[in-house]
């Protein structure tokens, strides 16, 4: 009738989980916040990126951008390897630097909406 079959330890799900659990988390934190302002054009934009580990050892690059003080937009990119996320992070950073984005200017710290600054 319905007899339980012996489990094959080579096909056990526990082995796969143990292998993925041994994958190290993010080697170092990757976060960026830059602004581009031009009062003559009424331009005040921000661009923020961060790389974070997510479930099962995958990595997520989150991008946020918009007008300073506004909610803006967000996009997430998922990767299997941290190196791939870092390559896109650096490529986007170079692109923003060419377009005139740089560190925060002035005495005020704006930060992306929804964050508190001291």
Q: What is the pLDDT of residues 18-34, one digit of tens each?
A: 454 544 567 788 999 99
pLDDT of 44 strictly over 90? yes
Local confidence band at 69 (pLDDT 50, 70, 90 cut-offs): very high
**Which residues 6+ apart lie within 8 Å of 84 measured at CB?**
59
What residue segments make up the domains of the chain, in order of their start? 21-98
pLDDT digits (tens, 9 = 90+) for 71-105: 999 999 999 999 999 999 999 999 999 999 999 87
Work out the mean pLDDT of the chain and round it to a whole number.
80
- State the fold for domain 21-98: q64v53_bacfr protein fold (2.20.140)
For the chain, give the percent of residues with pLDDT over 90.
Answer: 58
Predicted structure pTM score = 0.68
Exposed, middle or buried: residue 44 (CB in 10 Å: 0-12, 13-18, 19+)?
middle
- CA dist 77 and 66 (Å) reads 18
Contact 47, 96 (CB under 8 A): yes
Which of 102, 73, 95, 89 is CA-nearest to residue 26? 89
């Amino acid at each position: 009738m319905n007899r339980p079959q012996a489990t094959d330890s080579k096909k056990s799900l526990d082995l796969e989980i143990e292998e993925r659990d041994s994958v190290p988390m993010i080697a170092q934190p990757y976060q960026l916040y830059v602004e581009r302002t031009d009062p003559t054009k009424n331009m005040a934009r921000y661009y923020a990126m961060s790389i974070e580990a997510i479930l099962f050892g995958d990595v997520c690059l989150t991008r946020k951008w918009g007008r300073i003080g506004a909610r803006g937009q967000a996009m997430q990119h998922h990767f299997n390897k941290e190196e791939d996320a870092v390559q896109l992070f650096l490529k986007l950073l170079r692109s923003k630097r060419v377009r005139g984005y740089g560190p925060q200017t002035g005495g005020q710290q704006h930060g992306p909406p929804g964050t508190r600054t001291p």
